[in-house]
Amino acid sequence: MSAPTPFKIDIAQSLLDKIKAKVAAYEWHEMPAIAEGGNRWAYGTDMDYMRELCAYWLSAYDWRKAEATLNKYPQFKATVDGQEIHFIHVKGSGANPEPLLLTHGWPGSVFEFFDVIEPLAHPEKFGGDANDGVTLIIPSLPGYGFSGKPKTPIGPKGTAALWDKLMRDVLGYKTYIAQGGDWGSVVTGYLGYNHSTLKGGGAKAVHLNMFGIRPPALPETDAEKQWAAGAGMTFELEGAYLRLQMTKPQTLSYGMMDSPVGAAAWIVEKFYAWSDKRGADGKEHIENAFTKDQLLTSVMIYLVTGTFNTATWFYRGMFEEGGANMTPGTRIDVPVGIACYPKEFLVFPPRSMMDKGFNIVQWTEFDHGGHFAAMETKTVFADDVRNFVKKVKA
């Protein structure tokens, strides 16, 4: 355990130059022919879009500008059980701001939350009440971004234990609320399951925007069975990255560490596949959900830190922890908020099944947004989380 030391991102120009040189030298190749009007992402990442993105990367994208944004809020590093943890720490407005721990996922980073930091910490700037402000703690997962690289894979259960120590022992918060999507949802689920205030930990409520930790229940009703069939189908079509990363992350890593365009294609495909890309014209386009700058900054965080590899270890880490299932007869008893975004790819089971594992006090269904809800919906996400905090903080 160590006291937090202030941290600022400052990437060596030589590394930025090397990355750019490789992008510039990329030799474009063929992709399978797509019929007129067909989905150009049917085989994975669309070549035309990658060309467009890389052209922008070389001519217009400015890492130093992104770096300044990423350095906008106070950042620290602290060592917990030998694992170095990077985190953003923003004090909220009001007399007694509630601490709220936000956890990102893969292939994301702390950058996922940049559009919701101000609305959550300082609601008065957006026409809200200063007393609804929360103090934000936004860590980078072990092996991700500016956190240290573990020697062996760490999974969500292990990370939840680190987070609870970070919050209580390092930062001195006796209790806190936690929120997460993707891996963040699994880690946050484990905070509610293993480290709640009812079990001697500090997590007093959790808010999830992806189905992560599983209730100890099998599908029973027709709706539950229908959900299970749909989830199984999604896994067949979308689950390959997960199967690979949880078994042989090293086999994938040589290409992804060496090739910036390769890593970008792997990551951007997920931003495409899991987001709400619907536009006003009724057509889908990735840039209805994200700007090129957002995509490239998300990718660059992996490249400048050299963490593509260690980030994928998290999957293997969960595999080694034995999955993420609640034991029969147990549940998360502290208050739980569930946010269902329509284009999430790992959708929650029906409420009837969720109630068997979660003490749900807030269940919100949205008509817009996907897996990267904080980035995609911004104030909608912030409003939902703020409502939850107000509901459970007392």
Partner 1 sequence: MNGATEFKVTFDDAAIADIKTRLSMTRLPNEPDGNAHWDYGTNLSYMERLIAEWRDNFDFKAAEKKLNTYKQYRAALTDDKGQTHQVHFMYEKGSGPDAVPLILTHGWPSTFREFLEVTDMLAHPEKYGRSGPAFDVIVPSLIGYGYSSCPAVPVGPAVMADLWHKLMTEVLGYKTYVAQACDWGSFVTSRLALQHADAVRAIHLTMLPLRPYLRHESQKPVSEEEGKWIKEMGAWWRQEEGYRSIQSTKPMALAFGLMDSPAGLAGWLADKYYRLGDTDKTTTMDGMIARFPFETILTQFSIYWFSGSINSANTLYKAGPAEGSALLKPGEKVSVPVAYSEYPMDVLPVTPRSWAERGYNIQRWRIMEKGGHFAAMEEPEYFADDVRDAFAELL
d(CA 385, CA 211): 16
Contact between residue 241 and residue 106 where contact means Cβ atoms under 8 Å apart: no
Quick one: which of 45, 54, 28, 55 has its CA closest to 265?
45
Nearer to partner 1, 245 or 297 (CB): 245
Measured from the CB of residue 35, what is the shortest distance to partner 1 in angstroms? 9
- Kindly list the residues in this chain that would bind partner 1 in the complex (CB under 8 A): 18, 22, 26-27, 29-33, 41, 43-47, 50, 149, 151-153, 236-241, 243-259, 261-266, 269, 306, 308-310, 313, 316
Collect all residues with Cβ–Cβ distance below 8 Å to 94 and sequence separation of at least 6. 129, 130, 131, 132, 133
* Residue 96 CA neighbour count, 13 Å, CB half: 6
Nearer to partner 1, 249 or 369 (CB): 249
Nearer to partner 1, 78 or 256 (CB): 256
Nearer to partner 1, 118 or 284 (CB): 284
75-80 and 5-6 strand pairing: antiparallel
How much is the CA Rg of the chain, to the nearest whole Å?
Answer: 20
At residue 339's C-alpha, the angle toward residues 335 and 341, to 5°, is 170
Measured from the CB of residue 257, what is the shortest distance to partner 1 in angstroms? 4
Nearer to partner 1, 138 or 263 (CB): 263
Question: Residue 29: what are its φ and ψ, rounded to 5°?
Answer: -135, -170
Nearer to partner 1, 42 or 68 (CB): 42
Nearer to partner 1, 54 or 138 (CB): 54
Q: Tell me the DSSP string of 72-90.
A: SS-EEEEEETTEEEEEEEE
Measured from the CB of residue 117, what is the shortest distance to partner 1 in angstroms? 31
Nearer to partner 1, 161 or 265 (CB): 265
Collect all residues with Cβ–Cβ distance below 8 Å to 163 and sequence separation of at least 6. 101, 103, 139, 178, 187, 191, 195
Nearer to partner 1, 116 or 273 (CB): 273
Contact between residue 133 and residue 389 where contact means Cβ atoms under 8 Å apart: no
Collect all residues with Cβ–Cβ distance below 8 Å to 273 and sequence separation of at least 6. 41, 238, 345
Collect all residues with Cβ–Cβ distance below 8 Å to 372 and sequence separation of at least 6. 108, 112, 181, 271, 274, 275, 289, 290
